[in-house]
Chain A
């Protein structure tokens, strides 16, 4: 919608959509991410989600994390929505470091360090530190995608990549149905609250039991919905092959709404190039090996630990 038609709509009292409901929140329609084709955004997801696998230097993975955060800010993602990930970010660190302190392994080449009453070993602890930033960089690549894309964007991207109809339909419907079940879940909870159920006053074990009991109506709704949707698909002539009754290919309306532009081609080419170059230099020369970490080099120098 252009600015003039948009202002006309506002004058006429018509509500104009200003934000898109993504899989993890709401993002303004004016977000620069939406200037790119969904397939470009999907490739960016793979790029940021996979590239840390080649990188063992924690500083580079930390930089990737910052790039992800900057992209979210640039894409007008509400960063306060990331608060839901705080517990998992901290518990992952606690889990990883607790495990490596309790079970460091028995390699005689490890360097023991005294940290108060406990003995830790430098090599496995630094390895865990590097692994942690690698993991967090990969996670934020994923969070960036799900924060800026809708189920529809994923569907368009998969169809543009010529994924068979049945596979893209299942992925699209499953993500959409997750949203529908969340709605059902809210409806069930509101119905309980309307009948006077106070979950805040319940013990934790009772809350867990209640959570489990929610699944029973959800499954019943799913069964009914499966019948309704399959009947609706049958009535519209959909088949498992995605072809129409006479054997021809069904027109893909949703895909026709999106065009790949030069900016998409440039972005995809740049990501492919960086990805291939990173993979090559790591596998050929070990450029991103943990030994090349400036922090590792500095710490070893300070502690007198040879490579």
Chain B
């Protein structure tokens, strides 16, 4: 039952603890590895034709609420530096969009009581729309605007960059994110670090 994943049990009290901080760090570590590999795998300039890091961002906030959202903002700072896909000042400028890219999915799954294991059709719709399409549209719009603001691309090149970014992030998000949510969520929802709310 979808609502059971998010509903507190009778007498259940959930508080943020050190396990969440550790999970934030470990999840950031996974994001660094996935993001770095993605950027180095099929680079297309500032954008990657295959950046599965966005899937990790959305999944993180679905499972771990704001902890996943913070990880979503933090890991691209490091993975972009390691892969050479964006210098530090540009990565810092991406920060608000990266946090949003992560948190939109977490908000939508809690708001619409969707099951992270993607059981029903409605769970799939929430995932595809709020976990992949909307966050990537926002991320690509913000990212390409920042590239213009930093003088790295011209205004005229923004639309092409936006499209490359959006497609390159959305496809792996849908494929990779769906697989991970489907097969790993049943384990995660039983873990201590899983957040039914935004912080615990």
- Pairing of A with B: yes
Q: Which residues of A contact B (CB under 8 A)?
A: 23-24, 45-46, 49-50, 52-53, 56, 84-85, 87-89, 91-92, 94-96, 99-100, 102-106, 124, 127-128, 131, 134-135, 138-139, 141-143, 145-146, 166, 169-182, 185, 208, 211-213, 215-216, 218-220, 222-223, 225-227, 229-230, 233-234, 238-240
Assess whether B136 is interfacial by the CB under 8 Å rule.
no
Interface residue B151 (Cβ < 8 Å from any Cβ of A): yes
Instruction: Specify which chain B residues have a CB less than 8 angstroms from the CB of A103 in the assembled complex.
Output: 154, 156-157, 159-160
- Find out whether the CB atom of A88 lies under 8 angstroms from the CB atom of B153: no
Knowing A128-B154, A180-B29 are in contact, say whether A142-B81 is a contact too (CB < 8 A). yes
Q: At the interface, yes or no: B117 with Cβ under 8 Å from chain A? A: no
B84 touches A225 (CB 8 A): no
Counting chain B CB atoms within 10 Å of each CB, the highest count among A91, A181, A226 belongs to A226
Interface residues on B, range: 35 or more
Separation of A170 and B23 alpha carbons in the complex (Å): 9
Q: Are A87 and B43 in contact (CB under 8 A)?
A: yes
- Interface secondary structure of B, over-half rule: helix
Asked if B119 CB lies within 8 Å of chain A CBs, one says: no
Q: Are B27 and A139 in contact (CB under 8 A)?
A: no
Do the beta carbons of A226 and B19 come within 8 Å of each other?
yes
Determine if A230 and B180 form an interchain contact, defined as CB atoms under 8 angstroms apart.
no
Q: Which residues of chain B from 7 to 26 have a CB within 8 Å of any chain A CB?
A: 16-19, 21-26
A170, B21: Cβ atoms closer than 8 Å: yes
The complex places the Cα of A102 from the Cα of B23 at a distance, in Å, of 45
Distance in angstroms from A33 CB to nearest chain B CB is: 17
Instruction: Take A142-B81, A146-B82, A220-B187 as given contacts and tell me if A96 and B153 are in contact as well, using a CB distance cutoff of 8 Å.
Output: yes
**Binary flags per residue of B125-149, CB closer than 8 Å to A gives 1, else 0:** 0000000000000000000000000
In the complex, what's the smallest C-beta–C-beta distance from A53 to chain B, in angstroms? Answer: 6
List 9 A-B pairs, minimum CB-CB distance, nearest first: A95-B45, A177-B29, A138-B87, A105-B156, A174-B28, A173-B25, A230-B19, A178-B32, A99-B157
* B200 contacts chain A at the CB level, 8 A cutoff: no
